[in-house]
Structure 1
Amino acid sequence: MSTTEFAVPQQSIEGMYTDHGGWLKGWLRRKLGDSCSAADLAHDTFVRLLAKDALPEIREPRALLTTIAQGLVLNLRRRQRLEQAYLEALARLPEPQAPSPETRVILLETLLEIDRLLDGLPRAVRQAFLLSQLEGRRQADIAVELGLSVPTVKRYVARALAQCCFALRRRVPPRLRDAAPNMDLSAPIAPEVRHQAAQWLVELQADDVDDDTRRRWQAWRQADPEHERAWLRVESFRARLQALPGPLATAALAVPASGGRRRLVKALALAIFAGGGASVLDEQRTWRRWTADSRTGTGERAERLLPDGTRVTLNAGTAIDLRYSASERVLRLVSGEILVTTAPDPQGQGARPFIVQTGQGRLRALGTRFSVRDLDGRGGATARIAVFEGAVEMTPAHGGVPVILHAGQQGTLMRDQARVSGPVGEDAAAWTQGMIVAQDMPLPAFLAELGRYRPGRLDWDEGVAHLTVTGTYPTANTDRVLEILLYTLPIELSYLTRYWVTVKPGAGGDHGGG
């Protein structure tokens, strides 16, 4: 016998609520042991009924209500488990410098608005967007994780960007207002232009982005004022998005639309108000990375042959820009670490000096092979330089006496001073061979180094700060390195997700420790 389907008038649902609502609340209260949650789920059960266009003929109302409510109970318990783990992770976060009240409001507003906008997206689109835009994952890695092709990942991310960038309230940072003082950045933008702007961002974030793509992007921006306005809106959105603590925000926003997700979002908002988002507010650095001439992602290394024959090796998480002119050859280190092997200027001996520009100052190569690491992103306004051949002249950005480093020396460059810090260590160029060389390195420093090659978040408990690491470790397999540490040190690994690992004190370390 087939089941008869019919539209359910609202008065019928009201009748069911009158006849069976009290019974359902009692059933849920006995199951959950919580009157408040029972009342919420009973309400949600009837909301589910109201949302249906048609229902089977209702012969046993209480059986139907318990079936719907049982599914809601399972979802609630799953969300509670995630919420508990999430809040414990928040409690373990270090206490950073608190952001300003204005910044706190912007972060909270952004988080809640994005949460609302994600409700309308399919799960796979939402996941691709969060992994790409909040965690900075490579598109190829996202494709593998979600079982999609790279073009599909790009399409999904562009779709979510087009929806979120232009539906988000039109708060424009002062930096962008100053860049376009005569442009109304809050005016509506045509749908096709929105889509194009989102696609350009995805292309700039692609693993194989090249100079031709960047030239076409710049040409698109210059072709029409509305294109530029759309792109500035994308920049505005990205700046606000990058202010959110990536793994935390992903943990909240990846949960399917529900009251549980709202609670996670509110918990994250409390963390932001306590200062949890302050360490990622460098929006200028973020945008310089995305639009740099060459860049590498987490765990990637790359080699570039420059127009003059100079070779540059980029470590993981590195971005560089090139500015060659008639008077000098300038490589700007936006972030990360590079190894430079300079070539003679093809325009003539000594015609144009080769300069590496960092946030701390300028490095003038004197026929040399040297490495530069910008440590600014790790909390200090310092660059570390190691010279393997020739010499390098270091000049601080804010004045100070230039200092020359010779082969076999390493030094530090700050905005107001430069100094020789000692001989080059054996670990200075180990990264070019895919290795980390540690000699009594504090475990937190080692994990910070390992984190450059591992997607997601790698944290540690204060209880392991006294441990040290010695040895040579491959960067290509960070899971294996963590297994080695687990075997040799008194630690344990706590996984909130596959991409969020915390190292805690434990009973391991059968073969030594710190």
Structure 2
Amino acid sequence: MHTADPLTFGQSREQLDRAAIREAAQWLVRLNESAHDPQLVAELALWRVRSKQHELAWCRAQQVNDKFGLVPRQRVMSVLTERSELSRRRAIRSLVLLMTVFPTGVAGYQVLPWREWQADYRTRTGQQRALTLNDGSELTLNTDTALDVQFDRHQRLIRLHRGELLIDSGADPLQTPDSQRPLRVLTRHGGVRALGTRFVVRQQREYTLVQVFDGVVEIEPRSGGRRPQIQAGQQLRFGSRSAGLPQPVDPHGADWAAGLLVADRLPLGRFLAELGRYRPGLLRCDESIASLPVSGAFQLSNTDQVLASLPCSLPVKVVYRTRYWVSISVDPLRSPGGYQHAI
């Protein structure tokens, strides 16, 4: 006989008010932090009996947390209470997400990017964001980026789930001769250890690209092995198993932090692939014109303006099938030539 999953049984299918869902998530986090507070327990009881929506939302919050373990139990809550308020907000956000999409979210949990949705800091497509961490390190998140920051007594750790990050690393205020807290960036392929530096980390599907503009970084492929150091003026790609050889750094590799895409005879296909990172939807070109060279500096804040300028100097036409589906095709009435653009 089939036994129903508790996440798909009974009241869990009833539509819940968004406010009740969020309040239930907040109550669950608070209760797990202060389970022995009789006043808090009494206040929760009053909230639950105030409406049917409250009681249903509370039951769903418990079911979701039992299934996914989003909020630690009281016996390990000391870890959570030592962390920043970001940890609490992330736990609440995780509960709200799963409670909202639930029960379909249960089946899709393993294939949806939950870690990225729950990240401490995120940017949307086309958005950039600057942060200053409590050690003075300055971060600039590029388009479509998600990361977590975990600083404690033993480490300064940045987990890059997706996207690209520029780091100006600060001096550790807690460092002593007997206690070191290296600043590290983790990607799916391994780690990047900063040795007082300014560098870019860009995570892609098959590899992570590291570009160093000042100082030195050490690469730590996930499977171990050789751990090369990259000097200022060098860049390197590494995968989970090994690291490549250092190459001269792209001098414009961090220009995106100033809102610029700089191209030096970059093939049109690659140029559009880079530009497409800063706008939602599809941006493609015909193979016959993909090798046309593009040079110049382009403002990332207005990708439509960049596209509108292309036919002025290239033998192409821009076709908007929709706002989110743009094709660049050959204009047979014009002769090939590189596109020169200046701000």
Same fold (TM over 0.5): yes
Aligned partner of 1:189 in structure 2 is: 12
| CA distance in 1 between partners of 2:20 and 2:289 (Å) | 46
CA offset at residue 413 of structure 1?
1.3
Q: What amino acid does structure 2 have at the position aligned with 1:334?
A: H
Q: Indicate if the aligned counterparts of 1:488 and 1:509 stay in contact, CA closer than 8 A.
A: no
Runs of 4 or more, structure 1, over 6 Å off, are 197-200
Q: What amino acid does structure 2 have at the position aligned with 1:357?
A: L
CA shift digits 1:283-342 (9 cap, x unpaired): 44x322211110111111111111221111011111111122322111011111111111
Write out aligned runs for 1:30-179 (5 A): none
CA offset at residue 488 of structure 1?
1.5
Find out whether 1:296 has 2:123 as its counterpart: yes
Aligned partner of 1:248 in structure 2 is: none
Structure with the largest fraction of strand = 2
Select the residue among 286, 291, 298 that pairs with 1:466. 291
CA offset at residue 510 of structure 1?
6.7
What is the Cα-based RMSD across aligned positions, in Å?
A: 3.0
Find out whether 1:230 has 2:52 as its counterpart: no
The structure with the largest alpha-carbon Rg is: 1
Classify 1:310/1:228 alpha carbon distance in 2 versus 1 (closer, same or farther; 3 Å): closer
| CA distance in 2 between partners of 1:441 and 1:402 (Å) | 31
Select the residue among 309, 327, 334 that pairs with 2:161. 334
Structure 1: gaps (5+ residues) = 1-181, 201-210, 241-281
Q: What amino acid does structure 1 have at the position aligned with 2:249?
A: V
Select the residue among 276, 289, 305 that pairs with 1:480. 305
| CA distance in 1 between partners of 2:232 and 2:90 (Å) | 41
CA offset at residue 418 of structure 1?
1.2
Aligned partner of 2:26 in structure 1 is: none
Q: Indicate if the aligned counterparts of 2:86 and 2:120 stay in contact, CA closer than 8 A.
A: no
Q: Indicate if the aligned counterparts of 2:162 and 2:203 stay in contact, CA closer than 8 A.
A: yes
CA offset at residue 388 of structure 1?
1.1
CA offset at residue 198 of structure 1?
7.5
Classify 1:508/1:306 alpha carbon distance in 2 versus 1 (closer, same or farther; 3 Å): farther
| CA distance in 2 between partners of 1:467 and 1:303 (Å) | 34
Aligned partner of 1:454 in structure 2 is: 279
Q: Indicate if the aligned counterparts of 2:182 and 2:194 stay in contact, CA closer than 8 A.
A: yes
Aligned partner of 2:190 in structure 1 is: 361
Aligned partner of 1:325 in structure 2 is: 152
Write out aligned runs for 1:496-511 (5 A): 496-507=321-332
CA shift digits 1:147-182 (9 cap, x unpaired): xxxxxxxxxxxxxxxxxxxxxxxxxxxxxxxxxxx9
Report the more deviating stretch, 186-195 or 321-330: 186-195
Q: What amino acid does structure 1 have at the position aligned with 2:121?
A: S
| CA distance in 2 between partners of 1:329 and 1:491 (Å) | 49
Report the more deviating stretch, 189-198 or 326-335: 189-198
Q: Indicate if the aligned counterparts of 1:457 and 1:500 stay in contact, CA closer than 8 A.
A: yes
Q: What amino acid does structure 2 have at the position aligned with 1:345?
A: D
Q: Indicate if the aligned counterparts of 2:308 and 2:318 stay in contact, CA closer than 8 A.
A: no
Aligned partner of 1:82 in structure 2 is: none
Q: Indicate if the aligned counterparts of 2:189 and 2:208 stay in contact, CA closer than 8 A.
A: yes
Classify 1:309/1:462 alpha carbon distance in 2 versus 1 (closer, same or farther; 3 Å): same
Aligned partner of 1:426 in structure 2 is: 251
| CA distance in 1 between partners of 2:239 and 2:261 (Å) | 25
CA offset at residue 385 of structure 1?
0.6
Classify 1:442/1:198 alpha carbon distance in 2 versus 1 (closer, same or farther; 3 Å): farther
Other structure's SS at 1:438 match: strand
Find out whether 1:445 has 2:314 as its counterpart: no
Q: What TM-score, normalized by structure 1, do the two folds share? A: 0.48
| CA distance in 2 between partners of 1:490 and 1:348 (Å) | 58
| CA distance in 2 between partners of 1:508 and 1:353 (Å) | 59
- Matched-pair identity in %: 37
CA offset at residue 503 of structure 1?
1.0
Aligned partner of 1:218 in structure 2 is: 91
CA offset at residue 459 of structure 1?
2.0
Q: Indicate if the aligned counterparts of 1:400 and 1:418 stay in contact, CA closer than 8 A.
A: no
Other structure's SS at 2:12 match: coil
| CA distance in 1 between partners of 2:94 and 2:218 (Å) | 38
Structure with the largest fraction of helix = 1
| CA distance in 2 between partners of 1:358 and 1:513 (Å) | 37
| CA distance in 1 between partners of 2:120 and 2:90 (Å) | 12
CA offset at residue 394 of structure 1?
0.2
Other structure's SS at 2:163 match: strand
Q: How many positions carry a matched residue from both structures? A: 273
Select the residue among 181, 196, 205 that pairs with 1:352. 181
